[in-house]
Structure 1
Amino acid sequence: MKKALAAEFIGTFWLVLGGCGSAVLAAAFPQLGIGLLGVSLAFGLTVLTMAYAVGPVSGGHFNPAVSVGLWVGGRFPAASLLPYVIAQVAGAVAAGGVLALIATGKPGFDLVASGFASNGYGEHSPGGYSLLAALVAEVVLTALFILIILGTTAKRAATAMAPMAIGLALTLIHLISIPVTNTSVNPARSTGVALFVGGWAIEQLWLFWVAPVVGGALGALLYRVTLDEENSRA
C-alpha cells in the first residue's frame, strides 16, 4: 500500500505541475503559442506518461473521481479509497506549492490576480458560463472519462494502449471545457491550486468536488449497466 500511495502522490503531483504549470507559465505568454490546445495536451500527456510510469504500481488514478468511479465500478476496494484520495490531494497541493514558488519568481506576478489555473463558474469562468453550465459540464465529462477508463482497462480490451486512450480523452475533455470551468474533472487538481488563490477559488471549490465525484459514480454505473461483460450474466 505504501508504494501505491507514493505512486498516486507522484502521479498527481506531475498532473498538476505539468497541466496547471502549462497554463500558468506558458499560456500566459501569447508569443509562446501553446494556447488552449497546448494546455489541453499538457494535461493529457501528464496522465499518459504517469500511467505508464507508475500505473503498474497503483493503477494510475491520480484523481479522487477516478478512484470513486473505479470503486463503484467494482474495480477498487473501499478500504483503499480514503488513503488514495489523501495521497492524491497531498500530491496536488505539493505541486501547487512548487508551481507557486516558480511563478512568483517573475517580478510582478500575482497569484490571486492570475487565477493560478483555478476552476470557476460565473464571473470566474473563462467564458462567463453559469453555475448550471459548469455543473453539467463537469458531471457529464467526468462520467464519460470514467466510462472510457473502465472500457479501456477491461480484460477484453487492449490494455497496453489504455494510457494512450485515457490521456487523449483527458485532452479532449480540456478542449471542450476549459472555456466553461477551466476544466477540473479532478477534485485534487482543483484543490491543489485553489488553496494558493484563496477567496473565490475556495468558495467555488465545492462544485469541483461534488460534480466530478457524482460524475465518476454515474459513469461507473452507466458502464456496469450497459457495457460491463465481466460482471454481466446476460
Structure 2
Amino acid sequence: MLNRRVLRVRNPLIRECMAEFLGTFVLLLFGCSAAAQVKTSRETKGQFLSVNMAFSVGVMSAMYLTKGITGAHLNPAVSLSFCVLGQVPWGRLVPYFLSQLLGAYVASGLVYLVYYDAIMEFSGGVLTVYGPNETASIFATYPSEYISLGSSFLDQVVGTGMLMLCILSLGEKRNTPAPPELIPAIVAAIVLGISMSMSANCGGAINPARDLGPRLFTLTAGWGTEVFTCYNYWFWVPLVAPLIGGVLGTFMYLIFIHWHLPDPDPPESLTPLSTISDKVLQPSTMWDNGEVLKAARL
C-alpha cells in the first residue's frame, strides 16, 4: 500500500503549481477535444455551442478538482488580478503562469494524439492556419477576417473584464455570496455566457495560457511559425488583452460594488469604529471567508 506521507509534496509552491498544471490540463482537454470533434466532423458531431459547453464543463471539473489547493485560477489573468488585490503573493504569479501554460501545452498534445487520424483525414495531411481545411483553430484562437486589431483587442479586454467582475462577487459575505460547493458550477455558467455572447470575433480566449499553450504546441507539431505570424502577428492580443481586462474588471468591482457595501457587523467585543472602517478598505481583508474566495478564483 502506498504511503501518502512519503509521496506527499512538502513544498507548498510545488503543490500549488501541480494543481494549476492539472486544472488547466483538464480545462483544455475538454475544450480542445470538443473543438477537434466539431471541426473534423464538419459539424456533424457537434456545433459551435458544443465547444462553448465543453470549455465550461472543463472549468467546472477543474475547479472541483483543484480549488482546495490554489483556488483553481487556471488563468494568468485571474492570478494577476488576485495579486493586484493582495490575495495572492506576487511571487506566485510567474510559477502559476508557467504551470498553467505547461498544462495547456500538454493537453493540446494529448488532444492531437487522440484526434490524429481525424485531423489528418480532414486536412489531407497538410497542417495549415488558413483555408477551409485549416486545423490550427482546434487548438488556439484566431480572429475573424472582418475584425480590426483594435476591435479584437477590445473584445478580449471586455470578455476577461466581465469574467473578473462576475466572479469576484461570489465570495462576498456582505452581498449575496454563493454556496461554496456551487461556486465551480456558477463560474462555469459565467464562462458559458461569455463564450456564447463574446466569442464570434476572435474565439473568446479570455485566458493567455489557454491560447499560448496550444499555440506553442501547434508551432512544434507541424503547423509552423505561421501560427504566430498570421493575421499580422495577432497572437499577442489574447496574450496581453486578457491581463488588462482582468485588472480593469477587478477595479470596476471595487469602485462600483465592493467599496459601497455595508460595513460588516462589529463583534460583540467592540473595537473602535475607525479601526473597522480602515480594515474594510484594505485589500488583504476584502473577504471575510478565505475559503469561499479561494474557490471563486477561476
Normalised to the residue count of structure 1, the TM-score between the two structures is: 0.89
Match of 2:295 in 1: none
1:119 to 141, 150, 153: 141
Per residue, is there more helix in 1 or in 2? 1
Deviations 1:35-78 (A, max 9, x none): 12111111111111111121111111111111111222332221
1:89 to 97, 101, 107: 101
Measured in 1, the distance between the counterparts of 2:168 and 2:85 equals 8
Match of 1:199 in 2: 225
Amino acid at match of 2:137: F
CA RMSD of aligned residues (A): 1.9
Figure out how many residues of one structure are paired with residues of the other and give that number: 228
Match of 2:296 in 1: none
The change in CA–CA distance for 1:213 and 1:7 in structure 2 (over 3 A counts) is same
Measured in 2, the distance between the counterparts of 1:73 and 1:36 equals 35
2:31 to 19, 22, 35: 19
1:224 to 248, 254, 258: 254
Measured in 1, the distance between the counterparts of 2:239 and 2:195 equals 17
Q: Is the 8 A contact 1:73 1:221 kept in 2?
A: no
Deviations 1:8-54 (A, max 9, x none): 0011011111112211223432221x212111111111111111121
Deviations 1:123-146 (A, max 9, x none): xx2x63222221111101101101
Amino acid at match of 2:25: F
The CA deviation at 1:115 is 2.0
1:128 to 142, 146, 165: 146
Q: Is the 8 A contact 2:26 2:61 kept in 1?
A: no
Amino acid at match of 1:58: T
Describe the SS at the equivalent of 2:91: helix
Deviations 1:152-180 (A, max 9, x none): 13344123322112111111111123321
Unaligned residue ranges in structure 1 (runs of 5+):
none
Unaligned residue ranges in structure 2 (runs of 5+):
1-12, 129-133, 264-279, 283-298
Find the structure with the greater CA-based Rg: 2
Taking every aligned residue pair, what percent have the same amino acid on both sides? 29
1:36 to 20, 45, 48: 48
| More off after superposition, 23-32 vs 52-61 | 23-32
Describe the SS at the equivalent of 1:70: helix
Match of 1:215 in 2: 245
Measured in 1, the distance between the counterparts of 2:50 and 2:207 equals 19
Describe the SS at the equivalent of 2:146: coil
| More off after superposition, 193-202 vs 224-233 | 224-233
Which structure 2 residues correspond to residues 164-183 of structure 1 after superposition, within 5 A? 164-183=185-204
